[in-house]
Amino acid sequence: MNEEKLLSQIDKNTLPMHIAIIMDGNGRWAKTHKKARVYGHIKGVKTVETIVEVAKNIGIRILTIFAFSTENWQRPKDEVDFLLDLICQNTKRYLPNFMKNKIRFKTIGKTEDLPYRLINTLRDAQRKTEKYDEMILNLAINYGGRLDILNATQNIAKQIKNEGMNIKDIDEKTFSKYLYTDPLPDPDLLIRTGKEKRISNFFLWQLSYTELHFSSKMWPNFSAADFYQAIIDFQRRKRRFGRL
Ligand code: FPP
């Protein structure tokens, strides 16, 4: 079905408020095109551009993209350097566009371990867009679901030890406040491209009631139409949150 037709099927009143994306398949896309893996990442940036634009246009409030995981450091150094540099360059390149479109840029993850230049670029983009609220583009970078939970646990333990926090006060709401995602709501929809059906240490706590959509398209081939289809698929589901 074409893009226009799919778009007309989306009910603007029941949009997922927060969509999270695992952008998988850049390397395999490059391989099928007989190119080095890095070309897949370059092509992947174009898809990011398209999806951010269409998400904003249809009224998605929060879009989280998983750009670099805590496990990605284990890739060859050349690829790691290339990826981090690509993220740095493109964050800089998009900044005027974020400002023009009133997109607030945020990051989640252990950003303090990233190269200094990248930390500065990310900070600058966050600072210059902090007053915008039409859409949040949330970049998960040096992020891992287990790291997030461990980090929260350590900070809560510090509060107990040093600030007299009461153990009985640790409930789901309090725990969530210590996660990188605070104060964002949990994702309503998770999209993973690239055929694999797994979470790969992305949001673990936050996905408890998220609807999952797996696309067989490699990320560089994922289109606006595929994004609309994922939303239509989401809107056809009945979310019960454990109730009847
Ligand atoms: C997965 O493909 C993709 C990534 C690890 C990174 C994707 C990151 C970007 C496209 C940068 C976007 C950020 C901005 C700010 C523009 P893979 O290499 O795991 O693919 P494979 O599974 O086919 O090997």
The verdict on the CB of residue 190 being under 6 Å from ligand 1 is: no
146-157 mean pLDDT: 98
Ligand 1: residue of 32, 33, 41 to mutate (most ligand atoms within 8 A of CB) is 41
What's the mean pLDDT when you consider all of the chain? Answer: 97
How far CA 178 is from CA of 109, 137, 175, in Å, comes to 12, 20, 6
The verdict on the CB of residue 187 being under 6 Å from ligand 1 is: no
What was the pLDDT predicted at 243?
87
- Of the candidates 196, 223, 123, 201, the one whose C-alpha atom is nearest the C-alpha of residue 213 is 196
At 13, is the pLDDT very low, low, confident or very high (cuts 50, 70, 90)?
Answer: very high
The verdict on the CB of residue 109 being under 6 Å from ligand 1 is: no
CATH of domain 17-143+186-234: 3.40.1180.10
Q: How many CB atoms lie within 10 A of CB 99?
A: 15
At 189, is the pLDDT very low, low, confident or very high (cuts 50, 70, 90)?
Answer: very high
Residue 103 has which token pair? 């997109």
The verdict on the CB of residue 217 being under 6 Å from ligand 1 is: no
The verdict on the CB of residue 90 being under 6 Å from ligand 1 is: yes
- Ligand 1 centroid–CA 170 distance in Å is 36
194-198 mean pLDDT: 98
Is the link from the previous residue into 16 a cis peptide, with omega within 30 of 0? no
Instruction: With both helix axes pointing from N to C terminus, report the angle between 116-129 and 77-100 in degrees, rounded to the nearest 10.
Output: 20
Q: Is the pTM of this model over 0.95?
A: yes
pLDDT in tens, 103-138: 999 999 999 999 999 999 999 999 999 999 999 999
- Of the candidates 225, 230, 229, 219, the one whose C-alpha atom is nearest the C-alpha of residue 47 is 219
What was the pLDDT predicted at 240?
87
Indicate which residues carry an active-site annotation.
24, 72
Give phi and psi for 211, each to the nearest 5: -80, 135
**Whole-number Å distance between alpha carbons of 155 and 162:** 10
At 239, is the pLDDT very low, low, confident or very high (cuts 50, 70, 90)?
Answer: confident
Ligand 1: residue of 21, 22, 23 to mutate (most ligand atoms within 8 A of CB) is 23
177-204 mean pLDDT: 98
The verdict on the CB of residue 27 being under 6 Å from ligand 1 is: yes
Q: Could you state, in order of their start, the residue ranges of all structural domains in the chain?
A: 17-143+186-234
- Of the candidates 214, 78, 62, 198, the one whose C-alpha atom is nearest the C-alpha of residue 140 is 62
Length of the chain in terms of residues written: 244
pLDDT in tens, 65-105: 999 999 999 999 999 999 999 999 999 999 999 999 999 99
Return the half-sphere exposure (C-beta side, CA atoms, 13 A cut-off) of residue 65: 20
Residue appearing with tokens 């998988």: 24
At 244, is the pLDDT very low, low, confident or very high (cuts 50, 70, 90)?
Answer: confident
Atom 24 of ligand 1, residue of closest alpha carbon:
27
- Percent share of the chain, pLDDT over 70: 100
Residue 203 in this model has a pLDDT that exceeds 90: yes
